[in-house]
Amino acid sequence: MLRGVERAVALLHRFTADPLLDLARAARHLNVSRSTAYRVLRSLEAGGLVVYDRERRAYHLSLAVARLGQVALSRIDLRSVARPYLQRLVEATGESVFLLVVEGRSAVVIDTLASEAPLKLTYPVGTPWPLHAGASNRVLLAHLPPEQIEEILAGPLPRVTSRTITDPDRLRAELERVRRRGYAYSNGELTPGVVGIAVPILCAGQLMGALAVAGPSSRLPTRRVSGIVKQLKTAADAIVGHLMGSAAKLP
């Protein structure tokens, strides 16, 4: 029994590096036969921790795992940990910075620091936005479990501005692009004339939130994007490092 538990735990950890795991890769990872790996995966499936995708013939984590992760992460105050890094981003970029999390079908601003420029973007804390519209929200959507993404894409997908992407197929392609390059970019999709650049905050594969920089398109030309992405990723990594240290100290 203990050996079976150890194998199940090993496979669950494997999903952080291999989100869609087929039987052959599972067997290789555990260094066991396919029949043994299958029994482990079936046990996880019966426990509601993984879901079998018949079309792809592979397993992925279930929403139950995401809920467990959220319970663990709820013990950590993301806002207080992230606040110093938001301040540094405002100073480095000269633009407003936002910290967002997912609540239901919405992205919600839980902290923000405004640019000191006369013309700047501001959203009050608690502001909800649809997950499909704009960089800061779409970067969250891109890193949700597959079934949750499909639930959102099933609609409704309101058009916030004339540039908002509302076609599910276009959104799927964009979400794949976001995951591949590690950031999201938008221009006028959420607010006319405003560019948004955002990265996810991922802790051991678990989505915790998103960091975003936003401001007038005149101050955020495409030549600035790569530099701001680097600054955002550095801040996100630092936040995760801080949180991982905090989590290790929890009783």
**Structure confidence at residue 6 (pLDDT):** 85
Question: First CA to last CA across the chain, in angstroms?
Answer: 27
**Domains by residue range for the chain, with CATH:** 2-61 (1.10.10.10), 70-249 (3.30.450.40)
CB-based contact 130:105 (threshold 8 Å): yes
Q: Which two tokens stand for residue 181?
A: 């390059």
* SS3 assignment, position 179: helix
Classify the C-alpha dihedral 21-25-27-33 as positive or negative.
positive
**Structure confidence at residue 251 (pLDDT):** 37
Q: Encode the chain (251 residues) as per-residue pLDDT tens digits.
A: 447 788 888 888 888 777 888 999 999 988 999 999 899 999 999 888 899 988 888 998 887 776 666 555 554 578 889 999 999 999 999 999 999 999 888 898 889 988 888 877 777 788 788 999 999 999 999 999 988 999 999 988 999 999 999 999 999 999 999 999 999 999 999 889 999 999 999 987 788 899 999 999 999 999 999 999 999 999 999 998 887 765 444 33
**Structure confidence at residue 72 (pLDDT):** 55
Distance CA 137, CA 191 (A): 13
Give a three-class secondary structure readout of 181-239. HCCEEEECCCCCCEEEEEEEEEECCEEEEEEEEEEECCCCCHHHHHHHHHHHHHHHHHH
**Structure confidence at residue 119 (pLDDT):** 78
Report field, pTM of the whole predicted structure over 0.75: no
**Structure confidence at residue 241 (pLDDT):** 87
| 196-200, Cβ contacts within 8 angstroms, sequence gap of 24 or more | 196/134, 196/135, 196/136, 197/135, 197/225, 197/228, 197/229, 197/232, 198/100, 198/135, 198/136, 198/138, 198/139, 198/232, 199/139, 199/229, 199/232, 199/233, 199/236, 200/139, 200/140, 200/142, 200/143, 200/236
**Structure confidence at residue 67 (pLDDT):** 67
